[in-house]
Structure 1
Amino acid sequence: MHSEASQVASETMQSTANRPETDSRPIHWEAPADARYQDILYHQAEHIAKITINRPEVRNAFRPQTVRELIDAFHRAHMDPEIGVIILTGAGELAFCSGGDQRIRGHEGYKDEAGVEHLNVLELQRQIRTLPKPVVAMIAGYAIGGGHVLHLICDLTIAADNARFGQTGPRVGSFDAGFGAGLMARTVGLKKAKEIWFLCRQYDAQEALDMGLVNTVVPLAELEAVTVDWCRQMNRLSPTALRVLKSAFNADTDGLAGIQELAGNATALFYTTEEGQEGRNAFLEKRAPDFGRFPRRP
């Protein structure tokens, strides 16, 4: 008769056997000729888009132009049927994003080149949240203030072991009472979210992992390799299933009614498609499904 320890060991071995092997092949990023920006970088490879906030001299703080370029880049990835997953990151090893550039903060927002004051980062938040493809935050260094909210909005977060997280709003006369408060509470719990906002403390990567703020912590030298591996794994899955699941998670979190009916209808419709039948047929025929032949619709 097997002992409890033997049963646990057997289940662990079975779980490990079912886990996909890490794909450590190098990725060769390319910058499309028509994707030229001043404050960000746009690269793509293997059905993955990588969007990089490129202002390391200010710890990748954003200004209105940065946000406009991010909105354009995310729209590009959204509409590209060759892109299945999107990475959001910051240039260098010191910061993912440190929030809004306080040097250009005016009385009503952040000043653009014409002196008009904006809070257009709120539009970017909504765009990332509703974009029907997974968005992965790849974080090295600081994710602070508005940058912290940006990673929170992303579907998954992979953090380097040098990452630091926190909100600074009340310290600089600012706050995010939308996703920054509500989604934070749903992610880490109400009491912890209040601590993060009311005390403006910083948390290291392990603390962020322990509170459920990030998905995994990896050595800095392995950050991109692990992130790309996760993206490759998602790109091997059904793009329509991922799309519907993302909208379902958001609908539930946003408190929309009728989520179960939505899910039932979506599943019934999906079963009628060739893509849904490919997964069933591959299982019955004991072969790997060929999901690569199905479009990643914008």
Structure 2
Amino acid sequence: MGMEVLSLPDHPAGRRATVLPSVAIGIWSLAAAILPAVPPAEEIVPMIRPALDWQARAASQAYSDIRYEFAEGIARIVINRPERRNAFRPETVAQLIDATHLAQFDPQVGVIVLCGAGHEAFCSGGDQTVRGDDGGYHDESGMPHLNVLDLQMQIRRCPKPVVAMVAGYAIGGGHVLHLVCDLTIAADNARFGQTGPRVGSFDAGLGAGLMARTIGMKRAKEIWLLCRQYDAASALAMGLVNTVVPLAELEEETVRWCRDMLKLSPMALRMIKAGFNADTDGLAGIQELAGNATGLFYMTEEGQEGRNAWLEKRAPDFTKYRRRP
């Protein structure tokens, strides 16, 4: 049996030579021919490690484009169109609106997480294949919609914190969607940017104004006027996201942030969110803040005295309540 020298130039310890029998070389060559090539380690994309045992809510059965799940006080709403890089169509948005409404009114839910299915995209914006010539995106009946604008305001008015969990692309309308969320946790494979002027579209409302408030006017104009894409590190540096973690740790980190918020006063979180939004939402934002303040007043003895006096058909007695400086 002959002996042959097998050279291993890429061995981590450096170039070396190994002496093997000829038959071993033959077997080695045969195996290389029939087995699939193993990609280099750097090309193997890690999966997002699950952090919770998510349970589908009953309403999720009626949804075609999203999933609605719950675990340990956290609602997770997943845009489930990975074949379209989680682009939204009118049906997608209608289902997102419905699920967000359910989460808002569920007393078991303290925090809402919005994400995309898979690791390639959070949301790539409006599905251009259903965009019509009559001012919107067509639903299955042919009716044009821009109902994503309603979803944006719903997220901002929701009294519970909404966290965007971003893996992969957050582009166009998907970029604005993460922007209107209260917090953004990004994976290191995330990419951000606006594409509107490239595809004959724009968002001159929250997409422009809120972005300028978030990262500054010059940066916001750069994103819109050049339609470039930015990696997660760049997004973090400009203040577009709150933190960046390895892809595999994305859900774990997001859940960690959610658990921190679940330990806090829900009324305080509600009020501070309304306070932040009042500055950018004009009178509508002030109305939201004022409505929350009214709700707080209803809980006080002073507020209840006025109601009770009316029900009891007597004059209210407010003299026992201090006039605070």
What TM-score do you get using the length of structure 2 for normalisation? 0.72
Q: Which runs of 4+ in 1 moved over 4 A?
A: 255-259
Equivalent residue number for residue 29 of structure 1: 54
Q: Partners of 2:50 and 2:126 in 1: how far apart?
A: 36
Q: Say whether residues 1:164 and 2:191 are aligned partners.
A: yes
Equivalent residue number for residue 202 of structure 2: 175
Q: CA deviation at 1:266?
A: 4.5
Q: CA deviation at 1:28?
A: 1.2
Q: Say whether residues 1:195 and 2:222 are aligned partners.
A: yes
Q: Partners of 2:88 and 2:276 in 1: how far apart?
A: 28
Which letter does structure 1 place at the counterpart of 2:97? Answer: I
Q: Say whether residues 1:85 and 2:111 are aligned partners.
A: yes
Aligned partner of 1:216 among 230, 243, 246:
243
Q: CA deviation at 1:255?
A: 4.3
- After superposition, the Cα gap between the structure-2 partners of 1:257 and 1:104, relative to the gap in structure 1 and judged at 3 Å, is closer
Q: Partners of 1:183 and 1:152 in 2: how far apart?
A: 8
Q: Partners of 1:25 and 1:94 in 2: how far apart?
A: 16
* Mapping for residues 108-119 of structure 1, pairs under 5 Å: 108-119=135-146
Which letter does structure 2 place at the counterpart of 1:57? Answer: E
Q: Partners of 1:25 and 1:144 in 2: how far apart?
A: 24
Q: Partners of 2:284 and 2:96 in 1: how far apart?
A: 31
Q: Partners of 2:267 and 2:50 in 1: how far apart?
A: 26
Q: Say whether residues 1:53 and 2:79 are aligned partners.
A: yes
Q: Say whether residues 1:245 and 2:272 are aligned partners.
A: yes
Q: Secondary structure at the match of 1:49?
A: strand
Q: Partners of 1:160 and 1:266 in 2: how far apart?
A: 37
How many equivalent residue pairs?
A: 247
Q: CA deviation at 1:46?
A: 0.7
Q: CA deviation at 1:253?
A: 2.4
Which letter does structure 1 place at the counterpart of 2:201? Answer: S
Per-residue CA distance 1:90-133 (angstroms, 9 max, x = gap)? 00010000000001100111000000111010011010010000
Equivalent residue number for residue 160 of structure 2: 133
Equivalent residue number for residue 233 of structure 1: 260
Per-residue CA distance 1:159-193 (angstroms, 9 max, x = gap)? 00000000000000000011000001000100110
- After superposition, the Cα gap between the structure-2 partners of 1:246 and 1:103, relative to the gap in structure 1 and judged at 3 Å, is same
Aligned partner of 2:90 among 38, 59, 64:
64
* Mapping for residues 240-279 of structure 1, pairs under 5 Å: 240-256=267-283, 266=293
Q: Partners of 1:218 and 1:192 in 2: how far apart?
A: 23
Q: Partners of 2:77 and 2:55 in 1: how far apart?
A: 12
CA contact (8 A) 2:59 2:68 kept: no
Equivalent residue number for residue 310 of structure 2: none
Per-residue CA distance 1:203-242 (angstroms, 9 max, x = gap)? 0001000110000000000000000010011001000000
Q: CA deviation at 1:43?
A: 0.5
Equivalent residue number for residue 148 of structure 1: 175
Q: CA deviation at 1:34?
A: 3.3
Q: CA deviation at 1:32?
A: 1.8
Q: Give the unaligned 5+ runs of structure 2.
A: 1-48, 302-325
Q: CA deviation at 1:33?
A: 2.6
CA contact (8 A) 2:86 2:117 kept: yes
Q: Give the unaligned 5+ runs of structure 1.
A: 1-23, 275-298
Determine which structure has greater relative contact order: mean sequence separation of CA pairs < 8 Å that are 6+ residues apart, divided by chain length: 1
Which letter does structure 1 place at the counterpart of 2:220? Answer: A
Select the structure of larger CA radius of gyration.
2
Q: CA deviation at 1:273?
A: 6.7
Q: Give the CA RMSD over aligned residues.
A: 2.3
Q: Secondary structure at the match of 1:43?
A: strand
- After superposition, the Cα gap between the structure-2 partners of 1:240 and 1:160, relative to the gap in structure 1 and judged at 3 Å, is same
Q: Secondary structure at the match of 1:35?
A: helix
Which letter does structure 2 place at the counterpart of 1:104? Answer: V
Q: Secondary structure at the match of 2:60?
A: coil
Q: Partners of 1:69 and 1:237 in 2: how far apart?
A: 29
Q: Say whether residues 1:94 and 2:110 are aligned partners.
A: no
Q: CA deviation at 1:254?
A: 2.6
Q: CA deviation at 1:252?
A: 1.7
Q: Secondary structure at the match of 1:88?
A: strand
